Amino acid sequence: MSGPSAATVYQSPRPAWIKVGTLLRLGIGPHPEGDRRGGMDVPAEAPGLVLESIPRTDVGGLLLVRYRLVTGDRQFDREMIHYIPDDLARRRGPSRRDRAERQPVRRTHG
């Protein structure tokens, strides 16, 4: 099955931070009390993968992403795969610590 001609499918999915807190924000209240243990934890950002990108017909683009939502007690999770606006993901690279470990030690004094 082939996709739209304007889509870019990544052979190697690209690591990204998905802005889940913005994507799944609460609407106007009032809201019932949550379930801290059995309910889904919605972090500000979650690690995920970008599988595909495609431009919108009006402006901007969409990304097909995959990430996991986990319950508050960390006993269950659900894999999510869907399109999001391209501004709700940012590239996820090596951490500062990982980058620092790969850098050669520079000596500034004799």
Q: Could you report the per-residue pLDDT of 35-62, keeping only the tens digit for each?
A: 888 889 999 999 999 999 999 999 999 9
Instruction: Answer with the residue of higher pLDDT: 6 or 96.
Output: 6
pTM assigned to the model: 0.77
Amino acid at the residue 46 = A
Give pLDDT, residue 107.
64
- Residue 71 pLDDT class (50, 70, 90 cuts): very high
Domain ranges of the chain: 8-23+38-99
Query: Which residues on adjacent β-strands are paired with residue 63?
Result: 53, 84
Pairing status of strand 40-41 against strand 61-71: antiparallel
pLDDT more than 70, % of the chain = 84
- Residue 90 pLDDT class (50, 70, 90 cuts): very high
Q: What is the rounded CA–CA span in Å between residue 12 and residue 34?
A: 37
Considering the chain, what is the average pLDDT of its residues? 87
- Cβ contacts of 51-57, under 8 Å, gap ≥ 24: 51/9, 51/10, 51/13, 51/81, 52/3, 52/7, 52/8, 52/9, 52/10, 53/7, 53/8, 53/10, 53/86, 54/3, 54/4, 54/6, 54/7, 54/8, 54/83, 55/6
Is pLDDT of 106 > 70? no
